[in-house]
Structure 1
Amino acid sequence: MSIALDPFFNLSMDCLCIADYDGYFKKINPAFVELLGYSEDELRSRKICEFIYEEDRERTAIHRDYLINNRPLVNFENRYVCKSGELVWLHWTSIPVPEEKLVYAIARDISFTKGLEKERVSHLSELSQLNNELKRLNYVTSHDLRSPVNNLISMVDLIDSSKIEDGETLEILRFVKLSAEGLKDTLDSFVDTLKEKELHTESVEKVYFAPVFEKVCHSIKSLINKTQAEVAVDFCDLDHIFFNRAYLESIFLNLITNSIKYARPGVQPVITVRARQKENVKTLVYADNGLGFDLDKVGHLIFNLNQSFHSNQDSKGVGLYLVHKHVISLGGNISVDSKVNEGTTFTINFRA
């Protein structure tokens, strides 16, 4: 290494290293040594993969092969195991130099950020569960109260008022019945309102697929161009639905960005979107050729909050949860068909 660069290498707060194509560290800066807790000799004596957290080794090996084939590595994240046993998250940028058969890399410790992110998603999950529990309690309470109220009305009706001579007692019975009937109407109205809010939290309007899809694609145009994603749409059979515009934008945005994030390495992302109507059923079919899912293992978790099925620095476990929430909140349903390394198809049936 040039003498002029030694101070930069030795004093950098980020983790700097040089590795050979055989998978060994050739040089490690003090910041990296301090973070992992091993001596430089220990780090250089063992293969790099031995310091990587076991669950991340296979994915890291795939990207290492790309490096050896002269493809730079940018925005890659994995976990290393410190000598103390502690896990640290590292964010990598690595550049191969084929003529030297070396890889020059810089890593930044993002463990704190990952912790905050996990905590945020955990709080979001708790709030969602609490909200669902409150809604359930509202339904149960209002539903269960109607039975005793109906019984009270029936009991008042069973009283033979002709046998009661006291006018004040008759008046009290009349007020009891009016009050019970009023409470019944209030409970019925409350239940209807809950159902109405469940289906119509946001305004619904006539929304055309094409302009919404174009708007979303334009907003992530650089991402689409950078990955050379191929996008094909067909809205000829069904060009619009009555839906919430913001929800449809969110659905398209999350599905498209997921397809790009979870594209198969070295394979051009291909996305197809088709809308159709058969009898009274309006359907949107979205498909890609990405990594896919093992439905036998994770099929029941795909739309849950805080679920991530592929190791990726942008995985938050929120996107598909939002897609599902938007669809069902307006009375629709969504299903998924997928195979590992073959792609995924989402089928959305909108409420008639």
Structure 2
Amino acid sequence: MHPDDQARTFLGLPEVIRTGTGAQTEHRLRGVDGRYRWFLGNLQPLRDSAGEITQWLGTNTDIDDQKRVQEQLRRQDQRLSQILGQAPAIIATMDGPEHRYAFFNEAHRALMDNRAILGKPIAELLPEMVEQGFVEQLDHVYQTGETFVGHEVPILPVGSRPGAPSLYLDLTFQALRDEQGQIFGVLAFAVEATERVRARQSAGALAAEVGRRDMRLRRMTEALPAVSFICAPDGTMEYLSPQWYHYTGQTTELTTGDIFTALVHPDDQPEVRRSLRLALMHGRPWELQYRLRHHDGLYRWQISRGVPEYDAQGQALRWYGTLVDNHNQKELQNQLQRSEEQFRFMAESIPQIVWTTRPDGTLDYFNQRWTELTGRSVAYGLEFGWTELLPPQNREQITANFMAGIRSGTDYEQESQLLSAQDGRYRWFLHRASPMRDDAGNIIKWFGTSTDIDDFKQASQQLEARNQQLARTNADLDSFVYTASHDLTQPINNMAGIFEELTRTAYFRDPDAIQLIAMFERALQQIHQTIHDLSDVVQLQRRHALVPAEDVSLAALVEEVLGSIREQSTALGAEYSLDFTAVPTVRFVRPNLQSILYNLLSNALKYSEPGRPPRVQVSSCRQDGVPVLTVRDNGQGIDLERHGSQLFQLFRRFHEHVEGSGMGLYLVNRMVQLNGAWLEVDSQVGVGSTFRIYFKASES
């Protein structure tokens, strides 16, 4: 119920219940579209044989259209009263055989010397009217319906002194009839003719005054923001205000009804002609909408209204009307209709369940996808809702989450299962909804979708199971590598000790023994290094899981790494250029980032171009908001066309003349990936290499 109507509607309810008298009220109720409509509420008692009230019967009858008509009539009456009140004529209506005043305009009020006359009989107010025979004329008109017309009728002004001059009126008494044709009152219409009588010899002055009055009426008409017109009973135009010619661009008077063939849109002409013909035939008011050609050649929507003036016999003498441009309102209405049609088409076309609710969460729309996926009708869904299709064990919790989202007024999202008609089992759906608000921020509707994510859910569960299996496999492999490296380290150390003792105490006559000894030592070193590298891989994984990421100062960390390779840098004459102004810090596991920089900077020295001092640039910047750390050298470079696909593989080496295990770049790439970053490499043989580490945007 509309808030403005609640107090008035319910204020007398206790008294009605107590007395058992019944009641009627008019109030506004909000409909499914969110708009209020007028209803007539009727509350009546139901009694038993002893006269005791057993129940109350209440009804609400939609009277919105009647109320709108009443409001329109009230406005029309108000406009008519305003027009009549400003008219230069004396106008009044008197009801019943006693001729009690029911209406009078300001001119009549002035004539009555501003007396309170409403509801009082004329004979009581103006005894002189009885003496002059006017009340007798009113009786005759009221009883017979015959119109009385008097010209230059003399009357004495109300409250005038004896001997005061009379006023002269052109007076008309006309019977007023109800819808059944019964006379219920008399209309008195008078135009003061005193000046005309007193200045009969001065016809020129009289004509000038009449002209001035006519000019005032025309100016009032021409000031209206609408076209005014008068037409004869057959529809022939007798008058068109200047607004017509400004609007249509016509320059000549219309003498016939050719307005329709000349200016009304061809598609609207048949209906307009039919409606006007019926209105003119039966003497009824009309209200029409049609398109009229504007002076620019475009057709614009109009509202045309016409009201008849009747004679004493109730026949239409002429029609008074207006023509108002309502093109913008009509276009807005059409646009809203098209928008609604487009929304429904879109809602019925997308492969999701589309639904809407009222502000309280009550469902009021489902698209046909609901029926396809659930096998339930739209009517079923609106009556029982989607909660009937939820798993019973989760129904209460899911429903509570939905209502909590509605009450919060924020975007709603929830996953749940719904019983599907396609395979007869519960399938997973993702429900989402957003509120629509009015200009004041109040929620007027919720728009939501339900998306079938069952296949995705099944795939996610399978992927999760596979990930868990892979995690267990990786853990087993890590344990194996760790155990193997630990178990192999001692035998290798024993072999190295035995071989060292052998070379110290044994005597070898073979001249190739020295070369074989060197080869054996290198093999032992390679085995030992391989075991160490495998252990590093396992330790890297474990360190990442145990050591949290932190904000790392790039300048401090790079200086620390350069300090560890300072002796080698000095020996090669290496120069370093550092710039971390753009991105001073990054979020990373510090030991991992230290190992990455150590590998890249030490490789810049290890694989420097012979005869050319190493030049290494380390800098940071942002690319599309992403922090980037760049290490650029002028070393030997890598043939990416040949080795690019193997760049980060285990034990892959690209410069055989330099000792190494082929684990460095693998470890660098692995540490970068573990921290959610990625690595890009540009390299040219004989020119140098550039390594770029792209960090996650939030890690700076």
TM-score (norm 1): 0.48
Highest RCO, 1 vs 2 (Cα 8 Å, sep ≥ 6)? 1
The structure with the larger Rg is 2
Which structure has the highest helix share of the two? 1
